[in-house]
Structure formats: C-alpha cells, structure tokens
Structure 1
Amino acid sequence: MSVTSPPSLPTRRERPFDPPNEYRLLREEDPVSRLAFPDGKVGWLLTRHEDVRALLSDQRFSSNRLRASSPVRSFPVRPGEPVFRAGSFIGMDAPEHTRYRRILTRWFTTRRMRELTPRIERIVTEHLDAMERTGPPCDLVPAFALPIPSLVICELLGVPYEDRAAFQGWTGTLLRIGADEKDVFTARDELWAYIRGLVERKRDEPDDALISSLIHDPESSLTVDELTGVGLLLLVAGHETTANMLALGTFTLLTRPDQLRALRESPELIDGAVEELLRYLSIVQYGLVRVAREDLEIAGQRVRAGETVVASLSAANRDPEHYPDPDRLDITRPPSQHVAFGHGFHQCLGQQLARAEMKVAYPALFRRFPALRLAVPPEEVPLRDDMVIYGVYHLPLTW
C-alpha cells in the first residue's frame, strides 16, 4: 500500500452477508494499513482480530469523537455543538466515561435482563399474533423486527411508544451515510429537543422507568443536558441495532436451510446461534474509531499522536487466525470472543438486552411459522449498505 496515496475505507459488498473482499486482502497482506478519511486526513485501518481487540482495550487511545476523523463522512461541528456531547458517553474517555457507566450499568445486568424476559416474550407473542391474523405475505421489518426492540427500549427508558415514527425518522437520518448535512443537524436538534422535553416532564410526573429514576436518584447527580444525552444515546442504540439483527439474521437463516433446520431441531442451540449471527453479520459495518494520544506502535507500524485508527469489526470477526472457516455460518461454533459489541471498557452497555431480545424472538418466529420463507428472490431484498448500521430495509416473507 502506498503511504502517499492511501485508499479510503472499503464499503462495496459482493455478497449481502459478507464484508467487502478488500478486508480479506488487507488482513493477509497489510493488516495495519494506511487509510484516507473524507476530511482529507490520513490514519490507519486494522483488520486482524488480535489487533482490533488490543486497540479497543488500550487506554493510550481516545474515544473522543470530536478529535477523530470519520471513515465514511465528514460534517463540520457547528458553534456551540459540544453541548450535544453531554451524556454521550460512547465518545468520552475516563473518568467521564467511567462515571456514566457506573451509573447506568445496574440497568443492563444479566439479572435485569432475566427479569425483563417475560415482558419481551409477551411483546414477541403479540406481534406474531398480529402477523398471523393479517396473514402472508408480510414485511418482517415493520411487522416484527423494528417494533419489538423499539417497544422494549421505550418501556425501559419511559419513552412514549406512540412517538416511534418521529424518533425512528430522526434516527434514520442520523445514521444515513449520504444524508445532507443540514438534514443531519435538523434531525439531531429535533431529537435532542424531544428527549429534553421528556426529561423536563418526568421531573414533575415521575414513573418507574430509567430516565425518571435517574432524575430522582440522588446518587446519579446528572444535569438536564446529561440526562438528555444519555436518553438520546440509549434510545437510538437500543432499537436500531437489535432491529437490524432480527431482520438480517432471519434473512441469513432463511438462506442457510441447514443452519435453520439445526436450530429448529435443537432449540437449545439458540445461545450459540445468536453469538454466531452476531459474529457473522457484524452490523456495525464501518468499525469503531480511536485517536492515538501519543506516538506508539501497532504490530510494527508507527502511529503518531492525533492520528485516527479504525478498528474493522467485520474484518476481525472473519479472521481465519481466530475462527476456523470464518466465512461459514455455523451455529454450533464454540464461544469465540467476537467483537460485534466492541471490546474493552467501551464494550456495548446494552449487549445483554440485545441478546435477550434475539434469544426470544428468533425461536418464537420460526416456531410459529414453520414454513416461513422469502417472498422474493434473495437478490431483491433491499440492503442498508448506505447506513452506519447494516441490515435490510424490507424483508418480504410468506408462509
């Protein structure tokens, strides 16, 4: 690879469930490669599992997004913009990040997810009942994949579910790579104002959901801006990621009849199936960014202070040095330390919630509709390859 004219991030997929082919070549020939960013700066791209995990647990790198270059788009920061960072702890470093995680972790423990599971089961059943009443064909995205995690996160946070069209629209704009800069700023402003208004109302009309509990918990001591940022982050992340995993995972299994048959015959495989789908699909398709705090070395390459490094999760999760036959979906694969949820101190806070939803939804869907199949040829399913979170826009199904 030429240092004077480095390539931009690979984005074109040859097949719907596989990352771009360039990742495989880079992993083999240039695993710590130079990378050009849309803002004109040059940084680095990591494609090996070992290097990605090392980066994400290395405190010599910052998660501060105001210092980083984006690998797929570049929007200038408006005057006064830092207020929107309040509460957005995924873009913060210790000790600020640590403070938010300490306050929020108790809401997303494995024990709390077990307590929430009966409610998830009821929500899933209600949507399956509706699908059955309406009859085939149906689009799984609006009928099942999107409303289930949206309803769950709304109940968890205390966000009115009837407002879903508004916040799903704002979120779609924020995550679209080709969105107009003005539209992105407008969506961010409106979503911020919506959550802030919700926070203000819950100060006078408390409930037992997360946002209200944080407002009235003397140990949290979060400001209104911080509560707004936390609520915004959890709402966006809490429905977008799982919704796309449910739809894309269903699409994947329907095109892998041997794997679907194994899951139907052995429901106890669901835990491993969820982990394998997370690894195989890696829907955070453009990776995670970090900024070097100092001059240092990664796998023999000298990284300068201030340079942005992109960790490709999809490339790392297909590394043959870590996963035998990595391009094959195998729901019986042993636990593999995949990085679909990231790694280290910034590993996804809501990962147990996502797992709980998938472990309920996939088996229930395939149990209810044993003859479930695609209603269109696979190549006609519209892919979200223009979004930060990969998936499908629609999934027409019949049974």
Structure 2
Amino acid sequence: MADAASPTSYAAGRPPLPLLTFVILPDVVLACLMALRRPSGIKIGVSLLLLSASAYACIAYTMGNPTDDYTMGSTVFGNMVLNITLFIWLTDPVKDYRYLRDPTPLTEKPLLSRIWYSLCIIHNQRLIGTNAQVANVPPPFRGTRSQFLWKRLQQLLISLAIVDVVCSFVHTHHHLYQPEIAPLYFPSGAFGYLMRTGCTAIWLVMSYLMLKLSYIVLSMSAVATHLGNGNPEDWPDLFGPWSEAYTIRHLWGRAWHQGLRRHFSRWGKLAVEALGIPRGTWLSSQVQVHTAFALSALLHCMGDLMLGKEHFGRSWVFFAANGLVITVEDTVIALANRVGLGSEGKGRPGRGMRILGYIWVYIWFTYSGPLYYSWLFESGVGLTDPLPYSPTRSLIPVLCRST
C-alpha cells in the first residue's frame, strides 16, 4: 500500500498544481465579478469558465500525494464550486450583505473597496459580523487581543499534544484502517467491537483536531497582525459545544463547524420553495437536511475527483447515509414525544435521554465513519504524516531502548 501511494508512482503523469493560476487567480476573478455586478449573461459565462477551470485542475494536476490532493480538491475547489453558485447565481453579495460595524452599504463603496469586501465575504465562511451570519455560531470572544492570543495559544499547545498522540497511533497502525485486512486484527465479541469503534473514534478525533488547529493558527495570525478581520470578536470558536451532540442532527448542526451553512440555508430554502412545501413543516425540514448533505457531498466529491476520476462520487455514500439517518432519528424523536418520552416541554431533553443520545451518536459514527475513511485509506489518503515532527514517535524508540 505504501508503495502504491508513494509520491513518484501516485503523481506520475500529472504535473504540480499551479497555485497562482488555479487557486489565487480564480479567487480574485470571483471577487471582481461580485464587485463589478455585471449583467447576468456575463456573470454566468465567467462563472462557467471558473467552474470548468476548477474541474480541470482536479483532473490534470496534483499536489504530489493523495492526502494533499483530497484536501485541496474538497476544501479549495469544492468551496469554489459552492461559492460560485451562491455568490453569482443565487445572490448579489454587494447588495444583499453588509458588515454591521460599517454604516456604509457596500454598493456605495469604491470599486477597490468592493473587491476587498467581496474577498472577505468569500473567505468569511460563517459571515461573522454581517447581517447574514449563520445560525449556531459560538458566542464571540470578550476580552483584549492579548487575552485572545493567550487563550488561543493554550488551545494550540493542547491540541498539538493530543493530535501528536492520535496521529502517532493512526500512522503506526495503518493496518487497522484497511478494510481488506483490518478484520484479521480484531477479535470477535464485545472486545473486538470496542477495538473497531475505538479506531474509528481516533480517526474522527484526528480529523477534528486538524481542522481546529488550522483555524487556531489562522485566527492568531489575523489578530496578532491586525490584517483582514483582526478583531478578536470576529473569530469565535470553530466548533460548538459537544454537549449539544446528543442527536445526529445536533452534532452536524450545532457542534460541528458551520463553514457550509450559508450554502445549505440558501439552497435549502430554494428547494423548499421550488417544491411548494410550506415552511416550518416536518417535510420542509427534511428537504433542507437532504439538500445540505447533497451540497456537502458535492464539495467532498471534488476531493474524490482530484484523487482520480475513478473515485468521483465515493464520498457521497457517507453524507447520504447521514441525511437518511437524521430522517429516521427525527421520526423516532417525534414518536417518542407523542408518548411522553422526549423533551421536557419544548426545551432540552432530560439528562437520562441525553446520555442515551450520546451513546446513540457514538454508535452511529463509529459505524458510519468507515463508510468515509475506508476507501480513502485504500486510495493512499492518510499515509502522509501531517506533522513535520512527532515528539511521541521520537520518544517511543528511546523509551523502548532504555527498557
């Protein structure tokens, strides 16, 4: 497996991705298109060129290894696809959005300012500080810049220590994540189940921590340098409280990051209106849930495409399954509420029900996690070490020799 995913063999036939041409320039072009507010025909034409460029970049170029390719395809090119459809096809950002601390509408600002604000809107994924800020964002930080940086530094050091240990396990136990050979290492019965689910939980924690670390570093850089959004209150925590994750719906909607919610909300409302479904109904809620997971799947499928055309669509299964399980979950909760086993009034469910909910969420994600990561490991994703240096893996040989 390691030989098949080696940089030389994996990247054969595809040149390195030109970041200026396919990452930076399209971003600037999209911001200019938003700021110039050209006629619809021009906007559609340019946006189709940008979409084609993103798809071409995924197929024709490489970052050199599967992990970086999947990350680039899903986070950069996947976001580009969703940003184009939202900001060019569905909204007029200069007209529809405004920053609450700035009394001057974007439509009245000079062209260069509109381009700058358009770039900010593109990368302000939760639209923090605007009239369109997404729901369930954690409360803003209240304190000085120094206090903010100190708090983030503590989070950085703790997260680095944990991610080092977690990555050390994953990268020294790849065999436990290979679906064709992993069953050989897990015994039958309850102990084997705990081992399998524990491996899944470790991989999910690693993914969570890598996202968190990226955000911590970005927020510290912005606040320390005063560049861009340099106000501490503009950088609330990326994730919501995990105490809210007592249902699958809550885990995705309240605890997990909100970076795609601006797309989910707009497309979900559009889908409900197109189908003529009354707002506020159970059916309306389900349509919006499945629309959200379809968009999330589309974004990750751009990562599939960058791994190879034969992989396109493989991420879809995991996200479709989560949409379906939320529908089942909502149905069970509605029935439980009818017979008096659900929430206490209209508030949070009681402690006992929440504990059952946490167990249910754990079981589901330890089951569904392999739907997402098993084929990724088969494709070589995860073999590249995300940390340039690992204290844990450096100390283990020393300790073994000393004993």
Fold similarity call, TM over 0.5: no
If you compute each CA radius of gyration, which structure gives the higher value, 1 or 2? 2
Answer 1 or 2: which has greater helix percent.
2
Q: Normalization by structure 2: what TM-score?
A: 0.28
Q: Normalization by structure 1: what TM-score?
A: 0.28
